[in-house]
Amino acid sequence: MKDWLKWAVELQFIGQIELAYGRDVYDIERFERIRQISAEIMSVYTELEIEKVKEVFCNETGYQTPKLDTRAAIFQGDKILLVKEKLTRKWSLPGGWVDVNLSIKENTIKEVQEEAGLNVTCEKIISIMDRNKHNTPIYAHGICKIFVQCKNIGGEFKENIETEESDYFSLDELPPLAEEKNTK
């Protein structure tokens, strides 16, 4: 992670926490300024308008925690299921953001049904990763990626609003991957 990004993320984190827990009006004013500085750093280095940065980067309150992303690993022999995304035309494991009202298991089942048209059972969590340590580009917020090994129990792929294709691939024949979501 680039130093400027690391510093901006840390300043935003400190400001957000102190705005949630601070009580002194003078401290609150200083922490609002720290959060503003973090947004200004992001705006300068990303060339995004300051209001867009604030909307995306400084929009939460309370104690800052990583977002959760769940991905399904569904195997057929020595091949793994991937879906082709309409937006990027690249391939990824089916999955997505964990909905606030769903468990990891429930969300994984939902995402596989939506993106791959399959009904699955979740067998076990096989990996938990910090997205910014394994994927590019680096994001300004934390994401915890949870990979769940699933078993296909039926269904079939139907083109949908997110994905246009689904297929199984061996490690030596992987298509172009959506590296912001998964890696080889």
pLDDT band for position 6 (cuts 50, 70, 90) = confident
pTM of the predicted structure, to 2 decimals = 0.78
Rounded Cα distance between 38 and 32, Å, is: 10
Rounded Cα distance between 172 and 174, Å, is: 6
Rounded Cα distance between 161 and 117, Å, is: 12
Domains and CATH numbers, the chain: 3-57 (no CATH), 67-173 (3.90.79.10)
Tell me the average pLDDT of the chain.
Answer: 92
On the CB side of 42, CA atoms within 13 Å amount to 27
* Structure confidence at residue 116 (pLDDT): 98
Express each pLDDT in 84-116 by its tens digit: 999 999 999 999 999 999 999 999 999 999 999
Express each pLDDT in 123-168 by its tens digit: 999 999 998 888 777 777 788 999 999 999 999 999 999 999 999 9
* Structure confidence at residue 1 (pLDDT): 61
